[in-house]
Structure 1
């Protein structure tokens, strides 16, 4: 058995162990299984959110973009660097408090409570499910390709192994398993990325020598305008690249559920610091490694395997195993969160709407069944090898960000945001992003799909809300909760409504 496989097996045993350790704490009721009982502190909150956000994209898509387009990829990195702290700063504390006041335990249910209507769930749920499915498909494909590349196992065998491990610990521990494994995975990801970055820079003779070598191949790669200088002056495309992983995070249901699981609203401040530290250490490395891979492993058939191939050249065997564990951590930390969130939306939000008086146990079991089905369908499609990881991730995240960012932000910052405005915004944002991607507006008109979608979504919630203020006013209890959310004070018990109202009881003196 190779050293690489030994390291990966140790990692797999560790994440399954976490699932077993927390299973008794998290699976007794819906709040425990889906939110971990709202018990998480700043480090776990921040690193779970960031490991979930980063995904296999960083080790495949980002490396491939650096390999093919050089420093153009840094536009995505610049947006990514501030994404976590922006999300936590803008909606973190307020979303934690408002979700508590409204009795929300799911990120889509939160939207339905803030914008009361069955149509909120029936529109938001399918949009989120489709995007999350495409996103998890990208993770499964990334996991299979990476594991196969390093271990020599067949692609299908690697896919089955990856999916099996994810299902085991997600089934066992629910959200707590996802959160604590995400924390562990984030640490492994940083160590792995820094190790391979340092080894890569040393292998090419230092940063200056590496840049000189890349410049001899194609000087355009050292600019931020693409390999053929094709993005020079294309500010619509560049703004989209900046936005997709910066403000786009605020529209990802599987990320935003992290706000709701915090021990208390004030955790968001410290979590923002942890998030920023993680991003600075982790994000730039992937694009640099991908670019320097041109000097180490030239003429790759699949640029998305650049980081894997570089690792096997510049690292000793035992380190390759650690880096592979880091890559699997990035992939699995996103896949498990997406699967849990998809199961939650399908069972709790959509299923709960159709099935009255759904018991705690039945809701958890339905969620697990949906997770299993989505994972198996994704596994089958991944075996057929769909489009590249980068394309899938950009499509899914652009659509989610466009559809949901205004609805989540306005929920806590704009008292006039109402149900028609939110519904119009979600439909317009999703349609705008999907339509722009299908029409290729980036290449044809210099308008990135994320830009097109977010503009449509913002206009939708503003115009829709203002035009329907009289016919669809914000309900008084919701308005009172939103106003309370804007105060920095403990959560009042008398304002808590909904199925987790018991959680509104805070100890005297607890910060908000």
Structure 2
């Protein structure tokens, strides 16, 4: 294993710190609510940074810089779409979802919320939404494990198979032990590390290429079209990239942070913190990929690993330009991005299996201690399936993420958004929205229709299905309307 000791030591210290946080959180985990939502006790700073870190997975430091390195600023439309989508999600969904879940049976999971909000006694809505979570999140988890494997493979010269297990082991450990509190506390540390890496790295890359003017000249010499945000794009291509922003409304691991906030009052402050963090991180990500073009065009002898796999651009720049100790910290930021998102996804899958299958249908009288341990076993189960899916070394991080992101955005996004703003939505409308959204994504992706990102038709068709079915069928019960109005009043009072 070719590895510099400082980098290895930095990784070991970082991973040990995350596991220690998990052990500390273990002491505060007494029941399933603690394990799944941290007892709804997150303040604004932890809510903000945890939501950001759980969102920005390995693609932030690998997939997106690689795309910018290959295609120039034209890939930056993704960042624009994400910023708009995240802001609207904080503005319209976050506070309302916090109070709606509390007023609808103190729901701990999205399927739990859907069942309570729409008085679904059949269990059909809960089962279908839980299945959607398991299918798309297992793919999403696989993307995180691929990113972790790439990091260990590139940094320590490990085989891909060994790197798979090394990258996943630490995340599984602290999620298994500490649950939601461990995930949220570690997310806060990881978000801080990520923003440090993404501000420092592009500055050093620019200095190493001789300054901004020299870097711009080198990028222009490599290909003047690198500066063109419309390069090689079409109207459909730009809309597809902007469409990534629609995904925020339906991501269970992000929505769980809103549900876990200590009060609606924390949401506004959390929104400001989270959006500032996100804009700085995405700006740094784009800068790493963009100025990486200049650095490697000036040093072609060092460009081999990046030419082989453009998603390694951040990794290679950190290894080349920094002291091994600093490089270890920067590369830990990739591990932080991977671990923060993967841990959230494992926990959401675990909660769906535990709360929405095991407790709802198999063991209604299960004790809290039993449910917590079932949740831990489910973390292991989902992790093993995700590792198996990630075992193909040809996987690309951004490709796996885009499919799972679209699946959630289309299946859950319209249901969540409309359910918190419209009291006329019905159970059959919600069911139609989930089924139409998920089916559209699968079919559209399979046939690659019009070259349009599948989340857009999925979101549109799911929204239409919700509105049409809700209007044509029997309306919501008086009790549903009353709960909605009380929750909406509580939201406005708490702002």
| Same structural fold, with TM-score higher than 0.5 when normalized by the shorter chain | yes
* TM-score normalized with structure 1 length: 0.90
Show structure 1 runs of 5+ residues with no match. Answer: 492-510
Matched, 1:13 2:21: no
- Bigger mean CA deviation after superposition, 42-51 or 360-369: 360-369
- After superposition, the Cα gap between the structure-2 partners of 1:426 and 1:156, relative to the gap in structure 1 and judged at 3 Å, is same
Alignment of 1:88-167 (within 5 A): 88-102=90-104, 103-117=106-120, 118-167=123-172
CA deviation after TM superposition for structure 1 residue 489, in Å: 6.2
Q: Distance in 2 between matches of 1:123 and 1:479?
A: 24
Offset at residue 386 of structure 1 (A): 5.0
2:300 match: none
Higher share in helix? 2
Shift in alpha-carbon separation, 1:237–1:24, aligned structure 2, 3 A: same
Q: 1:447 deviation in Å?
A: 2.4
Q: State the partner residue of 1:426.
A: 434
Residue of structure 2 in register with 1:259 after alignment: 258
SS class of match (2:60): coil
Residue in 2 that maps onto 1:499: none
In the other structure, the counterpart of 1:247 is: 246
Q: How far apart, in 1, do the equivalents of 2:383 and 2:491 lie?
A: 42
Whole-Å separation in 1 of the counterparts to 2:132 and 2:388: 22
Matched residue of 1:415: which SS? coil
Q: Determine the C-alpha separation between the residues in 2 that align with 1:247 and 1:70.
A: 23
Corresponding position of 1:505: none
Partner of 1:75: 77
Q: CA RMSD in A?
A: 1.7
**Would you say the 8 A contact 1:3–1:318 is kept in 2?**
yes
User: What secondary structure, in the 3-state scheme, does the structure 1 residue paired with 2:343 have?
Assistant: helix
Partners of 1:30 and 1:318 in 2: CA distance: 40
- Counterpart CA distance in 2 for 1:284 and 1:436 is 31
**Distance of 2:37 and 2:467 partners within structure 1:** 31
What's the offset of the Cα at 1:357? 2.3
Counterpart of 2:393? 385
Are residues 70 and 25 of structure 1, via their aligned partners in 2, closer, same or farther at CA, if it must alter by over 3 Å? Answer: same
SS state at 1:37 partner: coil
Runs of 4+ aligned residues of structure 1 deviating over 4 Å after TM superposition are: 488-491
Q: Which residue of the partner structure matches residue 309 of structure 2?
A: 302
Give 1:193 deviation, angstroms.
1.2
Provide the TM-score with structure 2 as the length reference. Answer: 0.93
Separation of aligned partners in 2, 1:212 and 1:461: 52
CA distance in 1, matches of 2:258, 2:100: 10
1:174 partnered with 2:179? yes
Q: Which residue of 1 aligns with 2:484?
A: 482
Q: After superposition, give the CA deviation of every residue in 1:251-289 in whole Å (9 maximum; x if it has no partner).
A: 001110111111011211011001111012111221221
Q: Residue 27 of structure 2: SS of its match in structure 1?
A: helix
Aligned equivalents of 1:59, 1:310: Cα separation in 2:
12
- Unpaired runs of 5+ residues, structure 2, are 297-302
Which segment is superposed worse, 186-195 or 350-359?
A: 350-359
